[in-house]
Chain A
């Protein structure tokens, strides 16, 4: 157990060093001093109070979305539709914000609830299609992203548009529907507490509840789950409902904490948080606590990239590759784990031990 943790840590370290090295090479090709570039990124994300605030502000939706994705991944379901669920959550929250008048805490709670329900339906739809028609959830969730994004677009241009505003967007939210800022002048808002609260709930879900255990078993071995009398169809639906719902909270936090309105696609409310969150969940190796740090890291990466862009004139996209690299490297991490494990166990040539290590390698590949 302890050895496994060490191996995981080493492989994580190898991954990050590899990403940094490749990034450095590409910065060098783009005529930017790599050391300086990394310096800008770190300073931009963590070194200034604006940067730190921005990093945390970005980590909030990332954390929600990554937690949602994590729930599905734990159940062996590839929910890549967090982006769409994010938008549906934003739509649900906006509906409550504009159409209900409630006192301060209740209004936010109602918004979160509606966001959860809207997005849960969106995720649950993919689950339903999977069990009813065997539709691959990777495809359905991915495609539903676009439906959700363009649906939001339609609402902003059509029925929900506030014509008095310069940009095509809904009216401003009332004060009661806004998550208050933690520090005046900075964008970081109280959504962070919601996000951490949900983190604790998810942690408890997997640690202590039968439902969480059921999801884990299904994710680990679906045949074993069926054998142990778990209703696979029902569990898939429930998992996707929870997964989508939590990802949807990200959208609610974003509209009520940052923008105070729902905006159309030209001024998107998400730079692709739903996709970055997949990387965050994988980087955390599907550990709930690890997700908090991974979300923070991705938030920092995005903020640092934006700062780097302003400082060096590199195009924003030329910075996105770092995120891409990181995700790629995280996925390739199992190869490192396998290599390290093999290196350790090949020294112990005793046959039973070797068999044990082989099994371990196999299992690591599965996990």
Chain B
């Protein structure tokens, strides 16, 4: 028995998939009485598993990658709560859920970027531990990231060669070329790999990434929102290809926010909400309505009716956006003919799945222009001032101030190396002195903010960088609400907030409405429905006004491109 066990383990490590079952069959049939023996090797195969393997043989395909009871916490937030996921070769597994539902965390765990707090990862039925993506890659798990990881100054081919890192140091470009050519013909990719990545469009860059993955011979492909960078026809082509790849025997995870895409490509669908699996369905069971309900949560939306106090006279219009269009630095349209206006006394909610242009829209309205977009048409008016081409500093210089809670509130809205008081001062230095700062006043003001918004800062001198994420966000919220401007642009900051703080934010919004026009951008439908007087939905850069009465389902449909 000693000998057989030794044999087994050496063969196991040698080649798992091809040898495991026949070998086990032989082993078990020769010694049926030893059923309680646990094979002592580094794979720790339990006897149950051996029995199962023996029973099923190799005829039935085994899951290539299994996640079992994965739990991951960040502080008090449970990002993944006891999640199971099986990936089988030849199958596309659709993964869908709201932002912050835990999709990325789960995939980062599968890809070795994060280690789970609890649970196991199994590759070909063996428990493995991914300490870094290298471990995942050697186990045959490749990932197409949402943000491409390519060297911009290299050609596509050079990027592939860089990734493959073959042993040969001289011919590695040629080797890569050979391999890439093979992949290109086999998979029908149409791309010129000798172009520099910096001049490639997003879909071409994606193809380079895909060729990289196929060259490396992975069994499991994780596609993280692959369609988000594509438009129209490109999407259809990709979806067809994904189905093809599955037929070739790859196990594919397909992540998307778009219901149609998920239903088209997936053989099985898993829906995540707030870190847990809420529903699993097969392709046949899936329907758009069912998916929406599962993703959004709750069968019947309870709309808390909040009547606006209404000050909609003509001169109370605080913000007017007329037919605004803009392109980003690679000339892709990010804002497409958007028009809306907001008056004092109302909250205009902008719904939409993140990444459909909301961040670009508020970036342009406030003149911050972090994304370096270029306006190609249309106008933006604050009251009656044309601020279309003005930067934030110009707008402030013109006295057209507004409160603004930016997307990525922590990174953009705070100088984390400075003190709380200095951050309280950040956007309203003028009100604390023209040339000299009245620190006495600032400290008083900060102390009031700290107590009123229950921010866990010891004193105004506390460095903001030392606060927790939630408290950092609260700092931004407190500062912007305390400025009491008559226009507020609020980009949903609730992702890192606890329920109590979210309620407080909601209350703040409704109170601020008394003196201000508010644009509220978010993707949490509950929040949007409860605070908004009107709602527009952004989808792929366009804004569609959602008529009254609002319903969660209607808006959910608009958010995913449904008519």
Binding site for B on A (CB under 8 A): 1, 4, 208-211, 213-214, 216-217, 220-221, 223-232, 234, 351-352, 355-356, 359-360, 362-363, 366-367
Contacts and interface: CB of A to CB of B under 8 A. Distances in A.
A352 B426 contact: no
Contact of A359 (B73, B406, B425, B466): B466
A230 B404 CA distance: 14
A217 B411 CA distance: 13
Interface in B430-464: 430, 433-437, 439, 461-463
Contact of B76 (A213, A229, A352): A352
Contacts of A352: 75-76, 468
A227 B416 contact: no
A208 B413 contact: no
Interface stretch (B247-255, B282-290, B389-397): B389-397
B434 A210 contact: yes
Contacts of A232: 393
Interface residues of B, number: 46
A367 B434 CA distance: 28
Contacts of B366: 227
Contacts of B369: 226
Given A209-B435, A220-B416, A228-B392, 18 more contacts: A210-B429, A210-B430, A210-B434, A216-B415, A221-B414, A225-B415, A226-B370, A226-B391, A227-B370, A227-B404, A227-B413, A227-B427, A228-B426, A228-B427, A229-B397, A351-B76, A355-B75, A356-B466
Given A216-B418, A217-B426, A224 B413 contact: yes
B435 to A, nearest CB: 6
Contacts of A214: 429
Nearest to B395: A229
B406 A227 contact: yes
B396 A213 contact: no
Contacts of B391: 226, 231
17 contacts: A1-B461, A216-B415, A216-B418, A220-B417, A221-B411, A226-B368, A227-B366, A227-B368, A228-B426, A352-B468, A355-B75, A356-B466, A359-B465, A359-B467, A362-B465, A366-B417, A366-B465
A229 B396 contact: yes
B466 A363 contact: yes
B465 A208 contact: no
B415 A221 contact: yes
A1 B462 contact: yes
Nearest to B402: A229
Contacts of B397: 229, 231
B474 to A, nearest CB: 15
B182 to A, nearest CB: 42
B51 interface: no
Contact of A224 (B426, B435, B436, B465): B426
Contact of B418 (A210, A217, A226): A217
Contacts of B435: 209-211
Nearest to A220: B415
Contacts of B401: 229
Given A213-B429, A213-B437, A229-B392, A363 B404 contact: no
A348 to B, nearest CB: 14
A367 B417 contact: yes
Contacts of B368: 226-227
A230 B76 contact: no
B89 to A, nearest CB: 38
Contact of A227 (B412, B425, B462, B463): B412
Nearest to A218: B415
B370 A223 contact: yes
Contacts of B426: 217, 224, 228
Nearest to B370: A223
A216 B426 CA distance: 11
A356 B468 contact: yes
Contacts of B465: 359-360, 362-363, 366
A352 B414 CA distance: 21
A230 B368 CA distance: 10
B437 A363 contact: no
A91 B539 CA distance: 62
B224 interface: no
A1 B463 contact: yes
A65 B463 CA distance: 29
A213 B432 CA distance: 12
B75 A210 contact: no
A352 B498 CA distance: 14
A355 B369 CA distance: 31
Given A220-B416, A226-B370, A229-B395, A213 B436 contact: no
Contact of B73 (A210, A217, A234, A351): A351
The interface centre, meaning the residue of B74, B395, B411, B416 with most chain A CB atoms within 10 A of its CB, is B416
A210 B417 contact: no
A213 B416 contact: no
A302 B390 CA distance: 51
A221 B435 CA distance: 22
A216 B422 CA distance: 10
Nearest to B434: A210
B67 to A, nearest CB: 22
A315 B417 CA distance: 43
A363 B415 contact: no
A323 to B, nearest CB: 28
Contacts of A228: 392, 426-427, 429
B429 A363 contact: no
A221 B429 contact: no
Contacts of B74: 355
Nearest to A208: B436
Contacts of B417: 220-221, 363, 366-367
The interface centre, meaning the residue of A211, A220, A230, A363 with most chain B CB atoms within 10 A of its CB, is A220
B393 A230 contact: yes
Nearest to B363: A227
Given A208-B439, A351-B73, A223 B411 contact: yes
Contacts of B433: 210
A224 B392 contact: no
